[in-house]
């Protein structure tokens, strides 16, 4: 027979519980933080594509690579560091391509209005 206290969760022992109070909130929050990071990098890529040329993309990729390598000093496994590097570089470059496409479309639209 199972006692009722076996089903009680001690949420005060886990300060990282999710907003719904479910177990495994740490993983859920980390996934949200990773998603926000990827979206932020993609938005930075769009802004680079709207304003700057390819040299800015190369510089941004270099800075991001150095930041991830420095972040790896926190003790992440090499596979996690490499996969996060690849995902963020793809997000930055995809955002850059979208930004260039938007800049070209904006210029064409401005030329047709003249």
Rounded Cα–Cα distance for residues 69 and 75 (Å): 11
Residue range 65-81: mean pLDDT, rounded: 79
The overall pTM is greater than 0.75? no
The answer to whether the beta carbons of residues 18 and 24 sit under 8 Å apart is yes
The pLDDT value given to residue 99: 94
pLDDT greater than 90 at residue 62:
yes
pLDDT greater than 80 at residue 79:
yes
- DSSP result, 6-31: GG---GGG-TT--TT--TTHHHHHHH
Residue range 8-58, pLDDT digits in tens? 554 455 444 444 444 456 667 767 878 888 999 999 999 999 988 888 889
The domains of the chain are located at 39-114
């Amino acid at each position: 027979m199972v006692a009722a206290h076996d089903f009680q969760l001690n949420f005060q022992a886990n300060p990282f519980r999710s907003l719904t109070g479910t177990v495994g909130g740490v993983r859920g929050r980390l996934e949200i933080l990773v998603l926000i990071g990827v979206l932020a990098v993609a938005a930075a890529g769009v802004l680079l594509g709207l304003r700057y040329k390819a040299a800015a993309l190369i510089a941004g990729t270099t800075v991001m690579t150095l930041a991830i390598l420095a972040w790896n000093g926190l003790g992440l496994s090499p596979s996690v560091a490499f996969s996060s590097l690849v995902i963020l570089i793809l997000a930055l470059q995809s955002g850059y391509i979208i930004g260039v496409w938007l800049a070209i479309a904006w210029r064409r639209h401005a030329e047709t209005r003249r």
